[in-house]
Structure 1
């Protein structure tokens, strides 16, 4: 479990393909605190640490992950949002995030405002995922509040701190992002659509 509060940015230093899988090597300032078998969220995708060397660690993304996320689009030197699993007893500053991406969305608009920026994303509504006004959404692992909720589109207003300390500073029109919809909302939606 995660909170959607990004701890740091990591840098992809190597990508190795093995059959349908890819192994991502990431340089991070918390690598020395990791252990093999720990879970780390990478742009919201929960991946298991399989190797650690110096200040770099490696995780493996299987075909299922590559099919449902933007992980396969990563390149060497790309930055990724990183968050380690939540500790029991800590404050939950974001919202409950599983690290299980539901689908990909496309950035359709970026509007700079006085002191913030509004990012708009569209997604395929046939998957029956929904957003609600002032509800929670995770975009590339970042816990955010939904504004302008529509059937297949929503916006989020981002403060300068979040832009500067996450990969939001690199998002451009047409970029694909990982979405994890609110877990409680997913269960309610499933119950009401049954």
Structure 2
């Protein structure tokens, strides 16, 4: 479980194919002494299990995760080449401040940036959600985009808009995102459960 508040921007430093999918080593500011093998870290919104952590020869800290084929098919993990920057968040602990919204790290699909407009005090993005997910995205509701908890501004069919403040741009990977880029999308789990309950008809 996560909150959608990014606490580090990591960098892919090693990527290799494995029979199950891919394995990546990610440089991070997180102290490896505090990362247990088996711990969960959201990598650009995708919950991954840590299989190794330590320090590299250049002094940077790292952890290693593996992505299975389904993850590669449904998320941007298939694009994680060496040098790729990733939003990172460690799992929520009991008693932590819930600064964003409850995020599972289970990405539902990918949205696409269709418009970006830079303003002096914000950046405007219009994104297009997959048709089957658009109904879960309400105006003024919450979404997780590449692991960031964000508030939806407007909704128009499959399109929705967000505004990002300079702090978010500076401390996440969104500053690099441009029109045409794919973004990991996790809809608010409350919207998903409510939709399921409204559809369910006992036999």
TM-score, normalised with respect to structure 1:
0.96
Number of the residue aligned with 1:173:
179
The answer as to 2:32 corresponding to 1:37 is: no
The answer as to 2:127 corresponding to 1:121 is: yes
Deviation at 1:193, TM superposition (A): 2.9
Deviation at 1:128, TM superposition (A): 6.1
Instruction: Give me the whole-angstrom Cα distance separating, in 1, the residues matched to 2:191 and 2:112.
Output: 21
Q: Say which of 65, 70, 79 aligns to 2:71.
A: 65
Q: Which runs of 5+ in 1 are unaligned?
A: none
Q: Deviations over 1:141-192 (max 9, x none)?
A: 0000001113311111100000010000110110000000000011111222
2:2 aligned counterpart, secondary structure: coil
Residues 156-171 of structure 1 mapped to structure 2, 5 A cutoff: 156-171=162-177
Number of the residue aligned with 1:48:
49
Instruction: Give me the whole-angstrom Cα distance separating, in 1, the residues matched to 2:6 and 2:17.
Output: 27
Q: Say which of 129, 142, 149 aligns to 2:155.
A: 149
Number of the residue aligned with 1:88:
94
Q: How many residue pairs get matched?
A: 194
1:147 aligned counterpart, secondary structure: coil
TM-score, normalised with respect to structure 2:
0.92
Q: Deviations over 1:6-25 (max 9, x none)?
A: 00100100001012410010
Instruction: Give me the whole-angstrom Cα distance separating, in 1, the residues matched to 2:105 and 2:135.
Output: 16
Instruction: Give me the whole-angstrom Cα distance separating, in 1, the residues matched to 2:124 and 2:93.
Output: 31
Contact 2:143 2:186 in 1 (8 A): yes
The answer as to 2:110 corresponding to 1:109 is: no
Number of the residue aligned with 2:191:
185
Instruction: Give me the whole-angstrom Cα distance separating, in 1, the residues matched to 2:23 and 2:41.
Output: 14
The answer as to 2:9 corresponding to 1:9 is: yes
Instruction: Give me the whole-angstrom Cα distance separating, in 1, the residues matched to 2:52 and 2:66.
Output: 10
1:41 aligned counterpart, secondary structure: strand
Deviation at 1:127, TM superposition (A): 4.6
Contact 1:131 1:150 in 2 (8 A): no
Contact 1:129 1:181 in 2 (8 A): no
